Amino acid sequence: MDHPDMLVNTLGVLYGAILIMATFVRSRFTESMRIDALFIKECTESTRPLNLVAGLLIAGYASYSLLSR
The pLDDT value recorded for residue 5 is: 87
pLDDT tens per residue across span 17-54: 999 999 999 999 999 899 998 888 898 999 999 999 99
Q: Supply the pLDDT for residue 55.
A: 96
Model pTM above 0.85? yes
Q: What is the pLDDT of residue 2?
A: 66
Q: How far apart are CA 16 and CA 19, in angstroms?
A: 5
d(CA 65, CA 69): 7
Three-state secondary structure of 18-58: HHHHHHHCCCHHHHHCCCHHHHCCCCCHHHCHHHHHHHHHH
- Predicted confidence at residue 1, as pLDDT, reads 58
